[in-house]
């Protein structure tokens, strides 16, 4: 869905759904609406929302708008960009019901959803909202079996230790018979999550903190993806590689996303994106600094350089 066929990889925008992320301000729906429409108009290939309920830590307490509600609204007010979750915690929603939700957003968007999924990691939000934090990867594996079975086949009969879907069907189906592409995020996870990504996913994703926003570190981590695919008997080339990255495009206040950004002129940033594509990355989700309408507008010369 890239607006330019010469673009070497897809470039998405991460929206600031969390308190204080819009260059120190908190984005309201009116802000997120304007930013989404600006991203689509200026040439981004996708827009993304992360999935948390509350964050508590050394930086204090921050809240955020709920991911799936935003995704549903974004599907209705866009017409071209892909829409993704980066990544949705399978711990927070019944897996069969989540598949139903995903197929409905597929219909609303006309087949533009990328369903990014993960096992979750932030224990304080589990405790605050009453979700169990134990055996997260076991629970994730069962959830993935149900979600992928329903979205790809339309039916599943599954009973596990933590989840079940007995004689469950998806009807009606969205515009893609096989459902949306499924992405698995494995940031900070061990080899088991990589194997589950290789087993279930169409795409694999890493968050920029995991590889310090450095391409050389990201390249090194791809060896684990190749090994996981071979371990489950899959051609590694069939698992698309994606990564969230941070790019500085203008003056900004202190960032809550502590990682050194990619910097430079529009031509230099475009050249860096080409390096990501050459390394096998097919889609990047960009956190711009500042993450504002002005930050989005600053990508126009970057896309001009990238699309040549």
* Mean pLDDT value of segment 42-48: 98
pLDDT tens-digit readout, 51-91: 999 998 887 899 999 999 999 999 999 999 999 999 999 99
Domain extents for the chain?
10-306
Q: Dig out the tokens for 47 from the structure.
A: 């827009």
Could you tell me what percentage of the chain is helix, strand and coil, using 3-state DSSP and rounding each to the nearest 5? Answer: 40, 25, 35
3 state SS of 36 = helix
pLDDT of residue 188: 67
* Residue 189: pLDDT over 80: no
pLDDT tens-digit readout, 8-36: 999 999 999 999 999 999 999 999 999 99
* Residue 249: pLDDT over 90: yes
Across the strands, what pairs with 243? Answer: 206, 284
pTM: 0.96
pLDDT tens-digit readout, 103-141: 999 999 999 999 999 999 999 999 999 999 999 999 999
For 10-306, CATH number out of 3.20.20.100, 3.20.20.30, 3.60.15.10, 3.20.20.70 equals 3.20.20.30
CA diameter of the chain: 56
- Picking from 301, 229, 299, the residue whose alpha carbon sits closest to that of residue 47 is 299
C-alpha dihedral (238, 102, 146, 1), degrees to nearest 10? 0
Contacts of 296 (CB under 8 A, 6+ apart): 13, 35, 38, 39, 42, 44, 288
Name the band, by pLDDT with cuts 50, 70 and 90, for residue 1: low
């Amino acid at each position: 869905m890239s607006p330019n066929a010469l673009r070497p990889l897809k470039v998405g925008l991460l929206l600031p759904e969390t308190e204080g992320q819009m260059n120190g301000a908190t984005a309201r729906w009116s802000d997120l609406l304007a930013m989404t429409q600006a991203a689509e108009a200026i040439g981004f290939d996708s827009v993304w929302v992360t999935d948390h309920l509350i964050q508590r830590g050394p930086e204090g307490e921050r809240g955020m708008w709920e991911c799936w509600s935003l995704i549903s609204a974004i599907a209705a007010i866009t017409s071209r960009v892909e829409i993704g979750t980066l990544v949705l915690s399978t711990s927070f929603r019944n897996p069969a019901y989540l598949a139903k939700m995903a197929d409905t957003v597929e219909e609303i968007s006309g087949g533009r959803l990328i369903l990014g999924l993960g096992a979750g990691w932030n224990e304080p939000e589990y405790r605050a909202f009453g979700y169990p934090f134990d055996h997260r990867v076991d629970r994730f594996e069962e959830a993935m079996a149900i979600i992928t079975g329903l979205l790809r086949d339309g039916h599943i009969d599954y009973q596990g230790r933590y989840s079940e879907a007995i004689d469950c069907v998806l009807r009606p189906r969205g515009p893609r018979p096989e459902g949306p592409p499924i992405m698995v995020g494995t940031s900070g996870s061990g080899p088991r999550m990589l194997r589950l990504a290789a087993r279930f996913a169409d795409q694999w994703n890493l968050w920029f903190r995991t590889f310090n926003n450095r391409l050389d570190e990201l390249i090194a981590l791809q060896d684990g993806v190749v090994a996981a695919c071979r371990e489950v008997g899959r051609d590694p080339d069939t698992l698309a590689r994606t990564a969230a990255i941070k790019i500085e495009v203008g003056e900004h206040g202190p960032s809550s996303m502590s990682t050194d950004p990619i910097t430079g002129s529009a031509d230099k940033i475009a050249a860096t994106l080409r390096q990501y594509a050459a390394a096998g990355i097919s889609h990047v989700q960009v956190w711009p600094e500042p993450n504002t309408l002005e930050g989005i507008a600053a990508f126009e010369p970057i896309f001009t350089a990238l699309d040549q």
